[in-house]
A and B are shown apart, each in its own frame.
Chain A
Amino acid sequence: MPTIATRNQPNLVLAGRRAAWRLIVLVTLLKPVSNVFLAWGMKELPQSLAVNPLLFVRAMVDPMVIVGVLMQIVWLLMRISLLSVADLSYVLPVTASGYVISTLLGRVILHEQVSEWRWIGAVLISLGAALVASSPRNTPATKESR
């Protein structure tokens, strides 16, 4: 006769899967949105920033950069958490959809030029991410067979 713990196991597995997917979606979306805030804030600063590291201090008080940095900190913590339930070689391609979102946001919000090749590349990234997402999250030898 199954115990309460055994009966609850499928629910726990399902809850774990849902939590992992929630993390994947948040990690994927947060990065490109924070990149837009950073790019927006940095474009207001002089070009000499690239050769004068002291000007980074000035960048750190720009409101757009501050929002971007805060979002990147949250993104980093969520991604570290995600790496505890999924392989790095799974997380990388699945969250690569963020590149597609970055390209879209660069075009729509920052009015950057996006060539046809970039759009084709974005479609390839989406297909690759979908293919990897349909594979198991963990390497069986290191997680499931323990």
Chain B
Amino acid sequence: MRWIWLALVVVSAVAGDLLQSREMKTEGGSGAPGMARVLRLIASRWPLGLSILCMAVSFFAFLALVRIEPLSFAVPASAASFALETLLAKLLLGERLAVRRTAGAILVCGGIVLVAH
């Protein structure tokens, strides 16, 4: 059962993050927007609304996961989305994975695997 909840946490989190990042790339011209502006953007742009739905699914699946597994397993295990998101950020969002960023991401992935050990 725990793997079903974990898969749901990961897949919905990846979809939500990619949608959010794609939409917000056009918004940073004059600095990070405040909370009110973010709320207005969520209300006016459907991909952001859909991303919130994905995050909600991920959140409720996470709640079910922490009920049956310790937090120190649930949090790092759900970080499996990390590697997938980094790869998809390059492939779908066109982000450049420079040497330092790639090396750091690999270290973080290795760390997450150990923490979930």
Interface residue ranges, A against B (CB under 8 Å): 15-16, 19-20, 23, 32, 35-36, 38-39, 42-43, 45, 47, 49-51, 53, 56, 59, 65, 72, 74, 76-85, 87-93, 96, 99, 102-103, 105-107, 110, 112-115, 117-118, 120-136, 138-143
A135/B104 in contact, CB under 8 A: yes
Given A80-B38, A88-B18: A45 in contact with B67 (beta carbons within 8 A): yes
Given A80-B24, A121-B113, A131-B100: A141 in contact with B76 (beta carbons within 8 A): no
B31/A117 in contact, CB under 8 A: no
Q: Is the interface of A mostly helix, strand, loop or mixed?
A: helix
Interface centre among A49, A126, A135, A140 (most CB of B within 10 A): A135
A82/B32 in contact, CB under 8 A: yes
Q: Is the interface of B mostly helix, strand, loop or mixed?
A: helix
| Docked CA distance A57–B113 (Å) | 33
A118/B114 in contact, CB under 8 A: yes
A117/B21 in contact, CB under 8 A: no
A-B interface pairs (CB < 8 A), number: 222
Given A87-B95, A121-B76, A132-B101: A43 in contact with B108 (beta carbons within 8 A): no
Interface centre among B97, B101, B113, B116 (most CB of A within 10 A): B101
Q: Lowest 3 A-B CB distances belong to which pairs?
A: A121-B114, A128-B107, A124-B111
> Using Cβ atoms and an 8 Å threshold, which residues of chain B touch A59?
63
When the two chains form the complex, which single residue of A20, A113, A140 contacts B96, counting CB atoms closer than 8 Å?
A: A140
B67/A142 in contact, CB under 8 A: no
> Using Cβ atoms and an 8 Å threshold, which residues of chain A touch B5?
50
Residues 69 to 117 of chain B near chain A (Cβ within 8 Å): 70-72, 74-76, 79, 82, 85-86, 89-90, 93-98, 100-101, 103-117
**26 A-B pairs, CB-CB below 8 angstroms?**
A20-B31, A39-B71, A80-B20, A80-B24, A83-B25, A84-B33, A85-B32, A89-B90, A90-B101, A92-B105, A93-B82, A103-B115, A114-B72, A117-B117, A121-B114, A122-B115, A123-B111, A124-B107, A124-B114, A125-B107, A128-B108, A128-B110, A132-B108, A136-B98, A142-B94, A143-B25
